[in-house]
Amino acid sequence: MSTLSPPFRILFTHDQILRRSQELARAIFAATPGEPPLLMAVIEGARPFARLLQKHLPGQLPVHEVRASSYAGTRSTGAVTITQGGDLPVRGRHVLLLEDIVDTGRTIDALRRHFTAAGAKSCRVASLLSKPSRRVVPVAIDYLGFEIPDEFVIGFGMDLDGRYRELLDIVVYEADVERAFAAGTRHAASG
């Protein structure tokens, strides 16, 4: 982690993420003989994960982007709106949704229903993380990186109101760690 960011607790190092994503790419490839899947990253959070999978899947598959919003701050608001990529032509294709984290399950459930209704031959899900204890809507995750407890995580694409996406590791967000770090930084600057 950068020394310019607060010392949040590391859940998964960048190295662990790289290795696990490579394993997932192998599993995806092994399960898709013939037709390559239509990769769809749920942005913005899943971009780094999608890039890794793209790199490790043969054939230089393009990654399409779909945007769905249901979050404000650290709380899910419930309703899911597809604001970008909902009109991608999926008829007759095997869709693979790439997600950073499945929390309540509402986003993936909404996307899967949408693309299935739009005529996708199948619609599978690869997610780097899952918080099963937070599930409201049951969803099947076909390829899962890691299960995590009910903690708000940031880094490797995941943000808190647009901040901390650039961290290489996945860390646990804690407001008091952030406050203490900010106070220390101010103190150092004035001393």
Q: Catalytic positions, please? A: 103
From residue 63 to residue 82, what is the string marking binding to ligand IMP with x (rule CB under 6 A)?
-------xx----x------
Q: Which residues pair with 97 in a beta bridge?
A: 40, 125
Interface mask (CB under 6 A) for ligand IMP, residues 114-153, using x and -?
--------------------------------------xx
Q: Is 167 in the site for ligand IMP (CB under 6 A)?
A: no
Contacts for 87-90 with beta carbons within 8 Å, 24 or more apart? 88/38, 88/40, 88/64, 90/38, 90/115, 90/118, 90/119, 90/120, 90/123
Using CB under 6 A, which of 8, 99, 123, 170 touches ligand IMP? 99
CA angle 20, 134, 16 (to 5 degrees): 15
Asked whether position 107 contacts ligand IMP by CB under 6 A, the answer is yes
Contact in structure between 20 and 147 (CB atoms under 8 Å): no
For residue 42, state whether it binds ligand IMP (rule: CB under 6 A): yes
Q: Which residues bind ligand IMP (CB under 6 A)?
A: 42, 45, 70-71, 76, 99-107, 152-154, 158
